[in-house]
Structure 1
């Protein structure tokens, strides 16, 4: 009669081998998927760049493309069906001396600090598919110009200037200003000012301000946020944030504010991240009663920058 311990050890080893094998198969599938999508992005970028072929182009230059895809759910106590999907595609065109990019997004990429978990925030409720060509005098220039389609498929033109100024060894100021024209929404402008303070080696404090004027409604949208970026290790970080935003018509008033703690972690793949963000949201149209939520997101990067 075989020894019970030997039999048990055999089955445990067999089970472990099957588990490892399944994990390896999943890892192979994941890496293969990422490789196929990345190659497709680069092939598409090269195909588009070939329209501007230049015989004098150096052979070692090639078109680059990147895709950023983020999916998430953001249920909260007053809205359990909040869903987030964000896509950004950017193609660099060496045949145009890397001064022109093709950009496709389904959100306003300038709104990195908006109230992300508030669903139809004032700053993002008009976001939609945006397709544009961006031109810079030089790749490192802070001045850029865009023409394209966005905001319910309106054609638009936009000019933007952004730069940064080091105020001390630990304090940096970043600013940008833009002016745009949409064929139905007419003119608009936005101003942004951000201060980054390196409090310590692993903690960055940020104070962000943004104002946007809309000619169509003749009012200003305003936003302020205070954030703390705490690095836990090389693959994990925690972001503490308090965000407020409002409008100036019919009077200068607060529309909503939010407090959140976000954990962002890189997986075993350097192109795949996930986020867990508990938050509390207060909104004017909900009588500023607290709404409790939890956002879960996954984000992937494909292609080559």
Structure 2
């Protein structure tokens, strides 16, 4: 176990520094890229929400007025193959690619090619569209309160399966299985999540289905499996409702019902949120969520107060910072308030419109039982993230 943890730590550290070095070499060799316009629905400079594994990408035919302007650097086009190439997922090569571009192209080709191959089992009536494939790959390190470095890596990919169903997609990711299945990581990362090691994350894969919905509300379903050590299956039914009172406020309600075969138990997670935009560059969010299941006596709860500030308007470069107050616990425990603290995250776009660097600093006070004293601890982390797929190229 210790050897595996150290191996993941060294690999993640090497990969993170290699990403940064490669991007820097590519930036020094070519002309600097033009700064893309910030997308209206989610500023790229702000800490983005986790990619929903079953959410379909926007239609490729949709015209996006916020699409970034072409830069002097020749970028690999992930939206189509070379003429005469039978594989629709193979993007054209560029002689000016840095190692970072090759990594992104290779990840996209592997994910898209595997999805297209799997989709062929259900027929060939619909041509596979690689522009609907998208995902994230991140690698970084965390220095925790115990004075140890731990790797922070994550992978999410969403792929359509048009020959199975136009509303069906497949997902693949590496995440904390408990939080992923219970849908209890819907807000900014917390110091509790920062302390996770590679042994607490697993590979998850499955299918998602999105039936037609109304404006502001949406149902979705997922059926998947934890495919790492001690595999088991799980199912989810998720409902999302957003109510916009005016142009600068919104109420959010999410309900997720889940089932796990490893303990043969059901559970449910409820999320409530209130968003307020006092100014164009700012967003304030108050949110709370609670999870109940058959293996817990009480309610596992989390509460957040988050303030986002977009620095792009003042600096001209996609970047942003978020400040968060947090608390969590469980009502049936001897210590119902397990943890409280704060978190600061700075996020900036580097070298490419799809490459981001993130630095985080948090401090929290934790108490697990009545026999312990509440102690404080600091966490410092950094992450490099690659967004792949035409979905992000068009934003």
Class of the TM-score when normalised by the shorter of the 2 chains:
0.7 to 0.9
How far apart, in 1, do the equivalents of 2:118 and 2:128 lie? Answer: 17
**1:157-189 deviation digits (Å, cap 9, x = unpaired):** 221111211022211111110111112331101
Whether 2:253 is the aligned partner of 1:175: answer yes
Greater shift, 155-164 or 126-135, is seen at: 126-135
* Change in CA separation of 1:36 and 1:154 when aligned onto 2, cut-off 3 Å: closer
How many residues end up aligned between the 2 structures?
284
Q: Which of 61, 68, 75 in structure 1 is aligned with 2:136?
A: 68
Q: Which of 172, 175, 191 in structure 2 is aligned with 1:117?
A: 191
Q: Which of 169, 173, 180 in structure 2 is aligned with 1:101?
A: 169
**1:142 match: secondary structure:** strand
Structure 2 equivalent of residue 24 of structure 1: 29
**1:127-171 deviation digits (Å, cap 9, x = unpaired):** 533222111223887111121213952212221111211022211
Q: Which of 283, 302, 310 in structure 2 is aligned with 1:204?
A: 283
TM-score, normalised on structure 1? 0.82
Q: Which of 360, 373, 383 in structure 2 is aligned with 1:287?
A: 373
How far apart, in 1, do the equivalents of 2:354 and 2:111 lie? Answer: 15
Structure 2 equivalent of residue 235 of structure 1: 318
How far apart, in 1, do the equivalents of 2:286 and 2:138 lie? Answer: 25
Does the 8 Å contact 1:41/1:302 carry over to 2? no
Structure 2 equivalent of residue 276 of structure 1: 359
How far apart, in 2, do the equivalents of 1:104 and 1:22 lie? Answer: 31
Does the 8 Å contact 1:49/1:63 carry over to 2? no
* Change in CA separation of 1:114 and 1:214 when aligned onto 2, cut-off 3 Å: farther
Structure 2 equivalent of residue 84 of structure 1: 152
How far apart, in 1, do the equivalents of 2:337 and 2:107 lie? Answer: 43
Q: Which of 138, 145, 148 in structure 1 is aligned with 2:212?
A: 138
Q: Which of 212, 221, 225 in structure 1 is aligned with 2:304?
A: 225
1:104 Cα shift? 1.5
How far apart, in 2, do the equivalents of 1:160 and 1:270 lie? Answer: 31
**1:129 match: secondary structure:** strand
* Change in CA separation of 1:41 and 1:101 when aligned onto 2, cut-off 3 Å: same
* Change in CA separation of 1:54 and 1:35 when aligned onto 2, cut-off 3 Å: closer
1:120 Cα shift? 7.6
Structure possessing the higher radius of gyration over alpha carbons:
1
**2:149 match: secondary structure:** coil
**2:352 match: secondary structure:** coil
Structure 2 equivalent of residue 47 of structure 1: 117
**1:176-218 deviation digits (Å, cap 9, x = unpaired):** 1011111233110110111111110100001111100021223
Cα RMSD of the aligned pairs, angstroms, is 3.0
* Change in CA separation of 1:50 and 1:21 when aligned onto 2, cut-off 3 Å: closer
How far apart, in 2, do the equivalents of 1:89 and 1:81 lie? Answer: 27
| Contiguous gaps of at least 5 residues in structure 1 | 1-18
* Change in CA separation of 1:128 and 1:258 when aligned onto 2, cut-off 3 Å: farther
Does the 8 Å contact 2:206/2:222 carry over to 1? yes
Does the 8 Å contact 2:253/2:272 carry over to 1? yes
* Change in CA separation of 1:38 and 1:62 when aligned onto 2, cut-off 3 Å: closer
| Contiguous gaps of at least 5 residues in structure 2 | 1-23, 31-95
Would you tell me which structure has more strand in proportion to its own residues? 1
